[in-house]
Structure 1
Amino acid sequence: MSGAVPSLPTVGDAVLTNLVLVDGLRPQPRDGLALIIRDGVLAEIVDAADAPRDGAVDLGGRFVMPGLINMHTHFSLSLPGDGGDAVSSLDPAELALYMADGARRTLLSGVTTARCVAEKGGADFALRRAIEAGRVPGPRIFTAGRALCCTGGHGFDSDDTIECDGADAFTRGARSQIALGADLIKIMISGGIAGQHEQIDTPQLTRDEMAAVISTAHAWGRKVTAHAGPAAIIAEAVELGLDCVEHGYELTPAVAALMAARGTALVPTLVVTRAQAFFDDLGVPRWMQERSLAAGPRHLESFRMALDAGVEVLLGSDMPPFWDFEGTSAVVRELEHMQAGGLDAAATVRAATAAPAEWLAVSDRIGTIERGRFADLIAMPEDPASDIRALRDLDFVMKGGVVVRRD
């Protein structure tokens, strides 16, 4: 090799043949087609017979679908326990490298776009810039920066939140993250499973505080999502214009109907109340494990209420997407829980691709396989639109026309 060593490629050219297309648009897969990719973008979908043969990538009849979009990711996650303490003790340089490794592993797990919903110390903004520049591999990142909580509220003891009290302070908190480049704002409006001195149903923000964040973010063209458990506080936030609910542990039919009517999405993160092995890996204390696992049945009931009401549900693992968990990755396990909970396989594909892209307002760039979209693609031997468990055998990942995994 001579000359300068290049950065990692961020866009590429390719021709993909011998595939079955699950495009995220049509209910049935299509075969006999080829994908022509130029400068990282899908330029043409042609009959296989018309595709160039030189340099074409033969996918061996694999099913090709859009890359996964994980809407609840924390690259700097530190839960209570020994594993989380090890992350919290990292200095800024170590944390940046730790998060870069998580981004790489997330991409290889098939997640080509990630929405970060509370990261430590602004490192997510640096990570996003590094990925875009080709210095480290990783998914496309949309981030909330640091989440906003009340004094002593959910997540207060970590550097991935900012404590605020009163409408003025929450307004300043929202503006501070927008100034850093936040794509959305996250607020902690109730307790959760990871707070020792709270309960899932502990309301934590006043109406004025929620209204201040939502109106400020919307004025700046940003959406707001909320860590939230109990129905009453969720209803109040939805009435104020909340755009998305994380977890939604304790919905009611009436609140689910309100969410559907107002267009408020749900990222259910079902896996976090079914994560015994993950908690054991991290040494999570018994009180948190018991609270999490005990919330599981009600959590699933809430998810089904949301489906019955017609709420748009979106993929979000909360756990590191790449985590080796129950025979597959955490992100695939989450999708399996969503399908088992009542979402049919084709709708589960939408919840992992087109629907998140619409929420992020980037459906003209990602989320489906059609001309003009980024060539963010994954492939596997079986049809995920018939059974989402097909993703367990995912063996091909492309981002922006660059093959990053080909087993």
Structure 2
Amino acid sequence: MNNPNATGPHAEHPPAGPGGQAGQAVVITGCTVADGRAAEGASPVEDAGILVQGDRIARVGARREILAAAADLPDVTLVDLGGAYVTPGLVNMHTHLSLSLPGSAGDRIMDMNPYELALYMADGARRTLECGVTTVRCVAEKDHADFALRRAIEAGRVPGPRIFTAGRALACTGGHGHAGSDTLECDGADGFRRGVRAQLKAGADLIKVMISGGIAGEHEAIDTPQLFADEMAAAIETAHAWGRKVTAHAGPAAVIAQAVELGLDCVEHGYQLTPEVAAQMAARGTALVPTLLVTRCKEFFDELGVPEWMQRRSLGAGPEHLESFAAAVEAGVEVLLGSDMPPFWPFEGTNATVRELEHMAEVIGPARALYAATLGPARWLRAENELGTVEPGRYADLIAMDEDPLAGASAFRGVRWVMKGGRVVRTEEEAS
């Protein structure tokens, strides 16, 4: 599908079971089913069975009941997970599959021609899916290659997660991220209206605006305001008129407060929140994707050859960043998983998505972390009727691990089986 559906994820073609046959039934047993509803009081289903028909979950319940329900179905595949815990696939809400930070590795990506970039992003999408992330929200990608990748995944030409994307992020002239083709420079209220409409024309599911400086801009500070109120208002009003939400790269409390008052739907990073602004966000229903990794990832920066000035700024912001996250949690802000680092990136013994989730769980606990990685994002994306829980009617996007994710978020380090849309896409111990 070329145009986004504001109320649900994009269709997948063709609907397929493990063998790629439309309508094929799969019965999954040998598992305990848990999802983000545990944060709202729901209990896991032990000795469970899941009936999958085509790309959707048809029934969930006790193993014997599900086996009985499937007894008369033709062409049923049985999958015994050997005592695993099954959750919905993870949703990473801050993804850049074409990320290029300052430094040698980023320079190589910036120098890619369009064909090389498409292949690079497709490989990242495959690796993302294999690590258990079945849905991503892209919040600035180069050259609108994300739309081509989304179409290719939907058509079944390449493996990858479901993609919700903002297209190119909107920045002021010289603003955060201006040097790359993953941003569009705009000025004035009319300029930002045109910028929003350009992304919607391309097929954007949401809009992202850069309203302050950040870590990766050499000639700015984290607390540099970059948009005027009329520019923010124009972007938000235009996106909302088209039924799209708006998220913002933002660090300082004052800038965030102004945007929240104007109707901003989500904040990325929030490095310098105060309790007062966090309370304002909670009252207005503005979510936070904290991306805690970006201020505690020296190993990643060293691997990419990130310059010293950026490393100092990033790592130096770490303590206040964590305090800001804690303030948001205390205020009751909806917090959602997003790594900023590529979701699949090997990092500190796991991948970036799981490491981010572990950092979040230290503050919010494992049940709420599971919610922040599944049902919470699905609700923000207005896709909770299709994604985010293990319930009838949802896409059969499922992952399995041997440890209990409600006992600790580190259970996701052991993801060993991944299904997306009724098709098993990983059974090996390690994703490639």
Q: Check whether TM > 0.5.
A: yes
The correspondence for 1:23, drawn from 35, 39, 49, is 35
Q: Is the 8 A contact 1:8 1:135 kept in 2?
A: no
The correspondence for 2:176, drawn from 125, 131, 154, is 154
Say whether 1:34 aligns with 2:34. Answer: no
Between the aligned partners of 1:233 and 1:380, the Cα distance in structure 2 is 41
Between the aligned partners of 2:245 and 2:172, the Cα distance in structure 1 is 20
Q: Is the 8 A contact 1:225 1:244 kept in 2?
A: yes
Q: CA deviation at 1:24?
A: 2.5
The correspondence for 1:213, drawn from 232, 235, 251, is 235
Between the aligned partners of 2:36 and 2:28, the Cα distance in structure 1 is 17
User: Which residue pairs with 1:377 in the alignment?
Assistant: 398
Give the partner amino acid of 1:395: R
Matches within 5 A, 1:158-197: 158-197=180-219
Q: Work out the percentage of aligned pairs sharing the same amino acid.
A: 65
Q: Is the 8 A contact 2:45 2:61 kept in 1?
A: no
- Return 5+ residue gaps in structure 2 as ranges: 1-11, 18-24
Q: CA deviation at 1:9?
A: 6.1
Between the aligned partners of 1:317 and 1:221, the Cα distance in structure 2 is 26
Between the aligned partners of 1:266 and 1:15, the Cα distance in structure 2 is 37
Between the aligned partners of 2:62 and 2:165, the Cα distance in structure 1 is 38
**Number of residues of Structure 1 aligned to a counterpart in Structure 2:** 400
User: Which residue pairs with 1:284 in the alignment?
Assistant: 306
Between the aligned partners of 1:46 and 1:302, the Cα distance in structure 2 is 40
Q: CA deviation at 1:47?
A: 2.4
Say whether 1:76 aligns with 2:98. Answer: yes
Say whether 1:320 aligns with 2:320. Answer: no
User: Which residue pairs with 1:401 in the alignment?
Assistant: 422
Between the aligned partners of 1:378 and 1:45, the Cα distance in structure 2 is 15
Q: CA deviation at 1:55?
A: 2.8
The correspondence for 1:297, drawn from 315, 319, 329, is 319
The correspondence for 1:232, drawn from 254, 278, 282, is 254
Between the aligned partners of 1:25 and 1:157, the Cα distance in structure 2 is 42
Q: Is the 8 A contact 2:168 2:182 kept in 1?
A: yes
User: Which residue pairs with 1:249 in the alignment?
Assistant: 271
Between the aligned partners of 2:132 and 2:206, the Cα distance in structure 1 is 23
Q: TM-score, normalised to structure 1's length?
A: 0.97
**Cα deviation digits, residues 64-106 of structure 1 (max 9, x gap):** 0010000000000000000000000000011000000000000
User: Which residue pairs with 1:347 in the alignment?
Assistant: 368
The correspondence for 1:14, drawn from 26, 45, 49, is 26
Q: Is the 8 A contact 2:132 2:415 kept in 1?
A: yes
Q: Is the 8 A contact 1:35 1:46 kept in 2?
A: yes
Q: CA deviation at 1:10?
A: 4.8
User: Which residue pairs with 2:89 in the alignment?
Assistant: 67
Q: Is the 8 A contact 2:279 2:328 kept in 1?
A: yes
Q: CA deviation at 1:347?
A: 0.3
Q: CA deviation at 1:108?
A: 0.5
The correspondence for 1:128, drawn from 150, 164, 174, is 150
Give the partner amino acid of 1:316: G
Say whether 1:86 aligns with 2:108. Answer: yes
Between the aligned partners of 1:8 and 1:115, the Cα distance in structure 2 is 20
The alignment partner of 2:143 has SS state of: coil
User: Which residue pairs with 1:271 in the alignment?
Assistant: 293
Q: CA deviation at 1:28?
A: 3.0
Say whether 1:260 aligns with 2:285. Answer: no
Q: TM-score, normalised to structure 2's length?
A: 0.91
Q: Is the 8 A contact 1:166 1:208 kept in 2?
A: yes
Give the partner amino acid of 1:43: A
User: Which residue pairs with 2:22 in the alignment?
Assistant: none
User: Which residue pairs with 1:201 in the alignment?
Assistant: 223
Q: CA deviation at 1:8?
A: 9.0
Q: Is the 8 A contact 2:136 2:162 kept in 1?
A: yes
Give the partner amino acid of 1:17: T
- Closer, same or farther: CA 78–309 of 1 in aligned 2, 3 Å: same
Give the partner amino acid of 2:55: G
Give the partner amino acid of 2:50: L
Give the partner amino acid of 1:373: R
User: Which residue pairs with 2:356 in the alignment?
Assistant: 334
Say whether 1:43 aligns with 2:55. Answer: no
User: Which residue pairs with 1:3 in the alignment?
Assistant: none
Between the aligned partners of 2:101 and 2:60, the Cα distance in structure 1 is 45
Q: Is the 8 A contact 2:102 2:216 kept in 1?
A: yes
Q: Is the 8 A contact 1:119 1:159 kept in 2?
A: yes
Between the aligned partners of 2:185 and 2:264, the Cα distance in structure 1 is 20
**Cα deviation digits, residues 115-166 of structure 1 (max 9, x gap):** 0000001100000000000000000000000000001000000000000110
Q: CA deviation at 1:25?
A: 2.1
Is the deviation greater in 46-55 or in 135-144?
46-55
